[in-house]
């Protein structure tokens, strides 16, 4: 194991920002203060190619001015969104590299009118800062046949030949523009930079910015670069809920982080014609969840030629101006709650609810943002040890009835739901019943030092454990575990990299009086979720506690996160905040009937601090259970067991506890009788989820990528695994391929009576075809949830290899090693995918490239590229051979070839570029 300590510098703090990012980024520098205090920014893409597209710079400027462009309009619209800064994006590779200021440096469109200067002045007058977008990329210089870069003019200006269409030449040109802007616009807030250019790095551009304009910010897109102030994350999608953008972010606090996303639901980042819709639900949800994770919402709108926004975007801005007003105090001057700043636990709550927490400094005043409302009239979430003194609806000021016990806060009798975000102001008396960390010693001292600028890294070792010494024998009720937010929380492909969570999955907690003899006090699984996570251990009396982590959620497809684990802090609690109020349907309630030996008993971790025991010789009867019809019945118990549930006198149904089942409740009052072998804490009744609702799972199938086979009989080995990613168990699980007629399958379906959080069902099969053919073989998992049958499926695509090829394999095939490169979608590519981000440290290795005889073959490379780039091809570890290629579009497949000498049987090919970025790779084949 290794403990990483981040040194404090004079004006900043050095931070290892994530498991996959470099150290020594500056934190808390005075130049960053304004952005830390911000909630949002406005991202403006606007330039020569804004519709209607211009190719003449003077004509574009004339039409912009004639259309009535004014800087005050943009500033006013930004303020409606609650944005405190604007990023002006005109020097953009897809917008004609336009510069909206009078420039002395020739090379691309430059205006006579000082649009940039006017915007800066208008922003300063209203307290809105302006940042300038700068691109590193010349590849789109003649995207549609119009040459946007003037190498001849710039060469004459420099007195030497410079080709602006190359990365070095464009880097030198744009370097001069950075200098010009720094000299001309003292009021600018900084640069928003779209990735890096090698020329900038080699010539110390960022150090120059720091020297000339030390108060300016530097922001970089999609990379965590230490010298930059912020890490920006561009247009992440595919989350559940779809608005929960923070699930895609991999950079832990307190690093400054932006989420960059489009407000128009469809279309380009810039105005290309038409009035695109804005999804209010998605956009407001992103805005709130970002604020609840201390992430800045950088919202992109598509300004038209005159600068005005299309009507649907203007309408959204007007809506935001009024919708935000009643809840401003929960968004401005707050931080995300449940992380390093304290606060209740964010995420998924009861009965389908989902939301985030924002906190004021000190975390005594907090805000519960219910973005997805529950199907019931209460919200129940972990209190993280805070004793709640009052709750009110922030929009109306109405005091709310609440209850607190067993580590949970329940806000009750909610009737006024906002369509997009119901906000409750929660006043607290601070946290209770946590041991002073100065009294705890740990095998990893950084876990109990109270600082989020140090953390413990497991060094790629799993299973692994950490030990806490409480100093003497003491009581422990629960652990609050703060995992490092250095990975996404779900499995998907984004920006060329498989993303998956490096958070704890299966764990055990052990206790000891002497540090030698251990007893297990809790086993379980934690969800793949952001924010503080809790492990309730009951009443444990011991001096030593050991948290053993068996595995994490990341799979081998997510190489940067696989088998990685890092923890910020662990808090040890010896009790829960004092109980107050009663949650509906608590088992011990005086409203219930108790039969036989059923008796309420003390249970500090339970709702209401009581449970009902003796159900093996008695029963608890819940009277007057209100419902609107068939419902989901949740049964919370103090441990595993089975329960027998009878509804309205019907025959009892046996349930594995804790768990949830469908029950045929009547509209109005019902009676539910529960007996069994587990102690019952409480029940909860909610409407059944929609028929379309399916528990979240991850289905992994190999081989992945199109399988190209030769003529004749074919046999294919298929492996698959199904993982359950949510708390509700699924039953009667079955997993198997479904083969086409005429095929045979060796191996039966694998089955499990049930799966619980984090559990995996795996199998392997051999499928055989009488002859090669183009087919899709679905690998399908079926299961039941709440009495409903559901299925998820993923295909294995098989195609017959062309007659003029002796070998063919997709770059994204699971048989390959793509290292730190990644897979991304590409609709015109073979198989619909390709491998991108090939370059220094990221190559694609093809093992098992089999040929019938030794000799020379022609290696075909199918690729996409925009501009001039190179591959380097190595065979069986030999010297690499450069293959130069050119193209005009990353969505246009091309093919090139190079002769290679192979041995009979299996060979290994390595395709990469250790010097610079390589083209994206679609497929390889041998002629």
Is the pLDDT at 547 greater than 90? The verdict is: yes
Q: What is the distance between the alpha carbons of residues 475 and 605, in angstroms, rounded to a whole number? A: 13
Residues 419 and 443 in one domain: no
Q: Collapsing DSSP states into helix, strand and coil, what is residue 226? A: coil
Token pair 């952001």 in the structure block, residue: 530
Residues 272 and 354 in one domain: no
Residues 427 and 488 in one domain: no
**Is 21 inside a domain boundary?**
no
Residues 361 and 461 in one domain: no
Q: What is the distance between the alpha carbons of residues 568 and 453, in angstroms, rounded to a whole number? A: 8
Which parts of 214-365 fold into alpha helices (H)? 280-291, 311-323
Rounded mean pLDDT of 904-927? 94
**Is 224 inside a domain boundary?**
yes
Closest CA to 357 of 349, 369, 365, 348: 369
Asked which of 10-24, 629-643, 701-715 is least confident by mean pLDDT, the reply is: 10-24
Residues 764 and 846 in one domain: no
Q: Collapsing DSSP states into helix, strand and coil, what is residue 321? A: helix
C-beta separation of 755 from 729 below 8 A: yes
Q: What is the distance between the alpha carbons of residues 740 and 778, in angstroms, rounded to a whole number? A: 9
In degrees, rounded to 5, the angle at the alpha carbon of residue 33 between the alpha carbons of residues 30 and 35 is: 135
Rounded to the nearest 5 percent, the helix, strand and coil shares of the chain are: 15, 45, 45
Q: What is the distance between the alpha carbons of residues 881 and 750, in angstroms, rounded to a whole number? A: 47
Residues 316 and 173 in one domain: yes
Residues 680 and 704 in one domain: no
Rounded mean pLDDT of 798-826? 91
C-beta separation of 357 from 364 below 8 A: no
Is the pLDDT at 130 greater than 80? The verdict is: yes
For 846, half-sphere exposure in the C-beta direction (CA atoms, 13 angstrom radius) is 27
**Is 22 inside a domain boundary?**
no
Beta bridge partners of 82: none
Closest CA to 732 of 791, 794, 689, 793: 791
- What's the CATH code of the domain at 670? 2.60.120.260
**Is 580 inside a domain boundary?**
no
Domain that holds residue 639: 593-687
Boundary of a domain, candidates 800, 817, 847: 800
Residues 238 and 382 in one domain: no
Token pair 């608590």 in the structure block, residue: 586
- What's the CATH code of the domain at 255? 3.20.20.80
Q: What is the pLDDT of residue 495?
A: 67
Phi-psi domain of 29 (left: phi exceeds 0; alpha: psi -120 through 50; beta: other): beta
Q: Collapsing DSSP states into helix, strand and coil, what is residue 519? A: strand
**Is 2 inside a domain boundary?**
no
- Which tens digit of pLDDT belongs to each residue from 668-692? 999 999 999 999 999 999 999 999 9
Boundary of a domain, candidates 743, 767, 800: 800
CA distance readout (Å), 186 to 43, 72, 183, 770, 803: 21, 19, 7, 74, 65
C-beta separation of 722 from 697 below 8 A: yes
Q: What is the distance between the alpha carbons of residues 478 and 408, in angstroms, rounded to a whole number? A: 13
> Which element (helix H / strand E) includes 122?
helix 115-126
Token pair 């790779």 in the structure block, residue: 921
Residues 815 and 775 in one domain: no
Is the pLDDT at 20 greater than 60? The verdict is: no
**Is 7 inside a domain boundary?**
no
Beta bridge partners of 246: none
Q: What is the distance between the alpha carbons of residues 142 and 93, in angstroms, rounded to a whole number? A: 10
For 556, half-sphere exposure in the C-beta direction (CA atoms, 13 angstrom radius) is 9
Q: What percent of the chain has pLDDT over 90?
A: 86
Please report the DSSP string for 639-681 in residue order.
S-EEEEEEETTPPPEEEEESEEEEE-PPSB---EEEEESS-EE
Beta bridge partners of 792: 781
pTM (two decimals): 0.93
Give the pairing of strands 714-724 and 697-702: antiparallel
As a residue count, the chain comes to 927
Boundary of a domain, candidates 628, 662, 687: 687
Q: How many Cβ atoms are within 10 Å of 472's Cβ, its own excluded?
A: 9
Q: What is the pLDDT of residue 12?
A: 31
Residues 711 and 638 in one domain: no
Residues 365 and 495 in one domain: no
Q: How many domains does the chain have?
A: 6
Residues 762 and 823 in one domain: no
**Is 547 inside a domain boundary?**
yes
Is the pLDDT at 346 greater than 60? The verdict is: yes
- What's the CATH code of the domain at 766? 2.60.40.10
- Which tens digit of pLDDT belongs to each residue from 297-317? 999 999 999 999 999 999 999
**Is 583 inside a domain boundary?**
no
C-beta separation of 849 from 807 below 8 A: yes
């Amino acid at each position: 194991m290794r403990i990483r300590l981040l040194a404090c510098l004079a004006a900043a703090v050095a931070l290892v920002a994530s498991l996959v990012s470099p150290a020594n980024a500056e934190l808390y520098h005075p130049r960053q203060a304004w952005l830390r205090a911000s909630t949002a920014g406005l991202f403006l893409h606007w330039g020569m190619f804004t519709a209607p597209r211009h190719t003449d710079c003077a004509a574009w400027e004339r039409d912009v001015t004639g259309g009535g462009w004014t800087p005050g309009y943009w500033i006013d619209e930004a303020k409606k969104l609650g944005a405190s800064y604007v990023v002006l994006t005109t020097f953009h590779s897809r917008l004609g590299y336009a510069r909206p200021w009078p420039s002395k440096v020739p090379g691309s469109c430059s205006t006579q009118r000082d649009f940039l200067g006017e915007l800066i002045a208008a922003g300063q007058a209203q307290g809105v800062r302006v940042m300038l977008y700068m691109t590193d990329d010349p590849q789109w210089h003649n995207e549609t046949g119009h040459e946007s870069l003037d190498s001849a003019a710039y060469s004459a200006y420099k007195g030497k030949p410079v080709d602006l269409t190359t990365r070095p030449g464009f880097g030198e040109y744009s370097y001069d523009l950075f200098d010009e802007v720094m000299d001309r616009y003292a009021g600018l807030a900084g640069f928003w930079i779209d990735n890096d250019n090698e020329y900038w790095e080699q010539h110390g551009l960022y150090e120059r910015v720091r020297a000339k304009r030390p108060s300016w910010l530097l922001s970089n897109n999609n990379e965590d670069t230490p010298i930059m102030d912020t890490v920006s994350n561009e247009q992440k999608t595919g989350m559940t809920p779809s608005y929960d953008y923070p699930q895609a972010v991999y950079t832990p606090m307190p690093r400054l982080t932006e989420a960059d996303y489009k407000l128009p639901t469809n279309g380009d980042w810039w105005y290309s014609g038409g009035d695109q819709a804005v999804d209010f639900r998605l956009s407001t949800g992103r805005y709130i969840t970002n604020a609840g994770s201390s992430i800045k919402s950088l919202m992109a709108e598509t300004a038209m030629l005159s600068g005005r926004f299309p009507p649907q975007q203007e309408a959204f801005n007007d809506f935001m101006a009024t919708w935000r007003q009643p809840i401003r105090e929960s968004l401005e001057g707050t931080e995300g709650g449940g992380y390093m700043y304290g606060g209740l636990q964010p995420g998924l709550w009861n009965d389908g609810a989902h939301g985030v927490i924002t906190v004021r400094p000190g975390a005594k005043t907090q805000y519960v943002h219910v973005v997805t409302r529950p199907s019931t009239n209460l919200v129940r979430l972990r209190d993280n040890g805070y004793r709640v003194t009052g709750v009110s609806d922030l929009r109306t000021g109405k005091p709310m009835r609440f209850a607190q016990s067993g580590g949970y806060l329940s806000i009750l009798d909610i009737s006024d739901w906002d369509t997009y975000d119901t906000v409750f102001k929660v006043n607290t008396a601070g946290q209770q019943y946590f041991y002073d960390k100065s009294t705890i010693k740990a095998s990893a001292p950084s876990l109990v030092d109270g600082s989020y600028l140090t953390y413990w890294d497991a060094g790629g070792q799993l299973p692994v454990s950490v030990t806490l010494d409480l100093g003497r024998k003491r009581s422990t009720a629960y652990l609050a575990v703060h995992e490092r937010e250095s990975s996404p929380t779900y499995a998907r492909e984004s920006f060329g990299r498989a993303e998956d969570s490096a958070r704890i999955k299966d764990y055990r907690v052990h206790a000891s009086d002497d540090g030698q003899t251990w007893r297990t006090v809790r086993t379980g699984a934690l969800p793949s979720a952001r924010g503080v996570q809790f492990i309730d251990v009951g009443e444990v009396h011991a001096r030593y506690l050991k948290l053993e982590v068996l595995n994490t959620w990341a799979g081998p497809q997510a190489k940067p996160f696989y088998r990685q684990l890092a923890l910020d802090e662990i808090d040890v609690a010896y009790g829960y905040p004092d109980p107050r109020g009663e949650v509906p349907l608590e088992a011990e309630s005086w409203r219930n009937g108790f039969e036989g030996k059923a008796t309420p008993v003390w249970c500090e971790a339970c709702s209401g601090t009581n449970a009902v025991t003796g159900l093996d010789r008695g029963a608890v009867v819940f009277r007057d259970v209100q419902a609107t019809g068939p419902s989901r019945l949740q049964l919370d118990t103090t441990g595993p067991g089975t329960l027998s549930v009878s509804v309205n006198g019907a025959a009892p149904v046996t349930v594995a506890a804790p768990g949830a089942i469908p029950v045929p409740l009547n509209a109005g009052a019902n009676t539910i009788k529960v007996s069994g072998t587990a102690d019952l804490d409480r029940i909860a009744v909610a409407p059944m989820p929609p028929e379309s609702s399916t528990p979240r799972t991850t289905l992994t199938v190999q081989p992945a990528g199109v399988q190209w086979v030769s003529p004749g009989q074919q046999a294919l080995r298929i492996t698959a695994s199904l993982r359950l990613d949510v708390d509700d168990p699924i039953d009667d699980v079955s997993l198997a391929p479904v083969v086409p007629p005429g095929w045979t399958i060796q191996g039966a379906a694998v089955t499990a009576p049930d799966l619980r959080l984090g559990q995996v069902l795996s199998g392997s099969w051999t499928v055989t075809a009488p002859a090669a053919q183009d087919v899709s073989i679905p690998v399908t998992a079926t299961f039941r949830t709440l009495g409903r049958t559901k299925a998820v499926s993923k295909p294995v695509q098989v195609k017959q290899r062309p007659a003029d090829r002796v070998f063919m394999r997709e770059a994204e095939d699971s048989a390959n090693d793509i290292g730190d490169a990644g897979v991304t979608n590409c609709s015109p590519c073979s198989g619909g995918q390709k491998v991108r981000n090939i370059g220094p440290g990221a190559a694609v290795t093809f093992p098992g490239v089999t040929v019938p005889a030794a000799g020379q073959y022609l290696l075909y490379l199918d690729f996409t590229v925009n501009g001039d780039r190179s591959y380097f091809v190595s065979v069986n570890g030999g010297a690499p051979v450069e293959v130069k290629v050119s193209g005009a579009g990353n969505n246009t497949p091309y093919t090139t070839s190079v002769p290679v000498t192979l041995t009979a049987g299996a060979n290994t090919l390595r395709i990469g570029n250790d010097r610079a970025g390589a083209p994206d790779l679609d497929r390889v084949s041998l002629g």
